[in-house]
Each structure stands twice: as structure tokens, then as C-alpha cells.
Chains A and B, each alone.
Chain A
């Protein structure tokens, strides 16, 4: 027989209105000495640092897609690349469970973005659909 108590337990009405972090902290606070939760530090919401990383990624993407970038823009982009990489290391240190998980080529390739822009002028010149567009256009002209 399943007993449903509206004021206690994880499926009660109270927990429906309670956030997960608040629920964990409440359980830690009310834990007795024989409980595994006794003496644990209260947990914190990681949303702020995760939003910081995601916003940095969004800003970096907007910056590297700008038309007609000049020296100051490239310097800013490189500073943002360094900042994004540092944020990834500090705010998401384990990546998806690996120690020093950000030592990968794709993460560090954002540091070479300014170099690529200096050589190829802008990001759109190295985009995948640019190749197809030019090839197709040339093919049509030759016919």
C-alpha cells in the first residue's frame, strides 16, 4: 500500500514547490548523526558560472563572425578566445567527467582564429558552404 503524505517525503506537495538545491540543503540540515548526509556542506547552484561560460561562447561566436574586422577587433577576439578557454577550465573543470578535459585540439583551436582571419580575411571564406557555392557557380558559368 502506497501512503501519500502531502507534507513530507520527496513526492509531497511541499517538494513540488521547492527547488532541488533547497531540497538537498534542507535534507542535509535536518540529517541526524547516523545519516550519510550528516555533516555535508550545503550544495550551491552552478547556474551562474554555467551561464557565464555559455554567454562567453555566444559573444565569441558573434565577434568572430563580424564583417570587416580591423586590428582592434582582432585583438578583442583573441582576448575573448583566451577568456573563453580560461572560463571553460575554471567553470567546467571536469568537462564531462575527465580530469583536465579541456586539453583538446578543438578547444585550443579558438586561439588560432585571429591567425586564420588574418590569412583568409574573414570567417566566411573558410566556411563549408562557401566551397560548394563557388564550385557550383563556376560549373554553371562554364556550361
Chain B
């Protein structure tokens, strides 16, 4: 598509005029140019608008304030005394926002890795080895497979959190991401603040009986078996009594 020089100059002038007057001028020559020219017009308009707001306006404002200060012989904008204090650092004095202070800063970077570390410290303590001193290969009491099963259990518990029961939904992909980031310590994996908040809400409630069952599966299984056996025995005895009564 070829545009004539006249059209391009018109577009540039149009952008400048719109920027200066900060409004849209009616399209007096709309029929004379191509419709696609409006795309270029928008780009130029926004470029000039950006230049106006970021460069031109502050310069004008500064000049005007400087003129007024010189005429009034007093500072309209006195310097901030805090910035001249000894040892003052501007960046360290600005307020901490929630994301980098707590969610990613403290919870994501330190508390969750420390939680994982505490479990590893218990399960893989240097004294809990079965190999003799000086052995070439160190054999731990908790093997790699057993340690992996702990983290797989934690991952599966996270993946089982659903909105209908917990009001928080955690997908299997999120749980896998957690596994890669905190267990495998993948450096390329990160979590946003909102996702750390989901972890903050759910993690305290999935750590219970992770490595020491509060109510073990075997206990539940035995209870069910006992319940079935007692029920069967009672049912048989009652049937027998009923039969005897019927006969007599």
C-alpha cells in the first residue's frame, strides 16, 4: 500500500494538533484519505501524547515553577528534609508492598522452603545411616523411594484440595508446579503472589500426619474389619436365636 507524501504529512500534523489541543479534531478530510491511514494516525497520536505528558508537560511545569519562585523569592517546593538526613536511603525508606515483603519475600522464599527443610532434616539426619563409617556409598534409613513417597503424598494432598469442600481449588498442575519448585528445587519455577496465597491458605492443613500418621490407614482398615466381623457374628447369633425361637 502506497501513501502519498501529502497524506503522511497530514497525518503527522493531525497528530500534533490533536496532541496540542488534547482533543479529537473532526475528520474534515476523512474521505480524502484511506481508511487504513487511521491506524498510523493512532500510533502517531499516542506517540505525541506520550511525548507531551512525559517530556513537554514536566518541562513547562518546571519552568513555570522556577519563574514563580524567582518572582516570589521563596521556594514553592521546599526540599524534603528527610532526604538530607544522614544515612537516609530513599529506596529502603519506601513502604514495603505486600507481594515482595510477605507473600513472595517471606512466605514463598523462606517459610515454605524451611518447612520442607525441617522434614528433610528429620528424615535424612546425618546420624540416621545404616552404612558403616568410611563406606563408599552412604545408605540412609529412609531410602530415596521412601522420601519420594512423602513428597508425593504432600503433592497429592494439595491436588485433592477442591473448591466444593475447601473453598480453594488446587489443580494437579499447580501441585506439580509446587513439587518442582520446592521439592526438586527447580530454579526456573516461580509462583505469583496470588498462587503463594493459595499455598498459604492450604499448606498448614495438609502437613498433619505427613510422616507420622495421626490415624493410620492400617488402623482404619482394622477398625473396618473388626466392625464387619462383629456385625457378621452378631447377625449370625441373632439369626440362630430367632430360628430356635421359631422352632420352639
The interface of chain A, by Cβ under 8 A from chain B, is 10-11, 15, 17, 19-24, 27, 35-37, 40, 43-47, 50-51, 53-55, 57-58, 60-61, 64-65, 88, 92, 94-97, 104, 106-107, 109-110, 112-113, 116, 119-120, 123, 126-128, 139, 142-143
B130:A112 contact, CB within 8 angstroms: no
Given contacts A20-B212, A51-B208, A142-B53, contact A10 B143 (CB under 8 A): yes
Most buried by A among B115, B123, B217: B115
User: Which secondary structure characterizes the binding site on chain A?
Assistant: helix
User: Which secondary structure characterizes the binding site on chain B?
Assistant: helix
| Interface window among B63-71, B91-99, B157-165 | B91-99
| Interface window among B73-81, B199-207, B237-245 | B199-207
Given contacts A19-B212, A58-B201, contact A119 B95 (CB under 8 A): yes
B106:A110 contact, CB within 8 angstroms: yes
The residue on A at minimum CB distance from B106 is A106
The residue on A at minimum CB distance from B112 is A54
In whole angstroms, how far apart are the Cα atoms of A47 and B153 in the complex?
14
Q: List 9 A-B contacts (CB under 8 A).
A: A24-B128, A37-B129, A37-B141, A47-B207, A47-B210, A53-B111, A65-B98, A110-B101, A126-B98
- Cβ-based interface call for B58 (8 A): no
- Cβ-based interface call for B226 (8 A): no
The interface of chain B, by Cβ under 8 A from chain A, is 22, 49, 53, 95-103, 105-107, 109-111, 113-115, 117-119, 121-123, 125, 127-133, 141-143, 145-146, 150, 197, 200-201, 203-204, 207-213, 216-218
A19:B211 contact, CB within 8 angstroms: yes
Residues of chain B within 8 A (CB-CB) of A50 are 115, 118-119, 207
In whole angstroms, how far apart are the Cα atoms of A24 and B146 in the complex?
11
Cβ contact of B128, chosen from A37, A92, A94, A139, cutoff 8 A: A37
Query: Min CB distance, A4 to chain B, in Å?
Result: 13
B123:A20 contact, CB within 8 angstroms: yes
The residue on A at minimum CB distance from B201 is A58
In whole angstroms, how far apart are the Cα atoms of A126 and B97 in the complex?
5
Residues of chain A within 8 A (CB-CB) of B102 are 60-61, 64, 110
B132:A36 contact, CB within 8 angstroms: yes
Residues of chain B within 8 A (CB-CB) of A92 are 111, 114-115, 117-118
Query: Min CB distance, B121 to chain A, in Å?
Result: 7
A54:B212 contact, CB within 8 angstroms: no
A47:B211 contact, CB within 8 angstroms: yes
Given contacts A94-B117, A127-B99, contact A47 B208 (CB under 8 A): yes
The residue on A at minimum CB distance from B132 is A36
Given contacts A17-B217, A46-B122, contact A37 B212 (CB under 8 A): no
A20:B130 contact, CB within 8 angstroms: no
In whole angstroms, how far apart are the Cα atoms of A22 and B101 in the complex?
39
B101:A40 contact, CB within 8 angstroms: no
Residues of chain B within 8 A (CB-CB) of A123 are 98
A128:B105 contact, CB within 8 angstroms: no
B96:A116 contact, CB within 8 angstroms: yes
Query: Min CB distance, A84 to chain B, in Å?
Result: 9
Residues of chain A within 8 A (CB-CB) of B22 are 142-143
The residue on A at minimum CB distance from B57 is A142
The residue on A at minimum CB distance from B142 is A20
Given contacts A37-B128, A43-B122, A50-B115, contact A21 B211 (CB under 8 A): yes
Cβ contact of B141, chosen from A24, A55, A96, A110, cutoff 8 A: A24
Residues of chain B within 8 A (CB-CB) of A10 are 143, 145-146
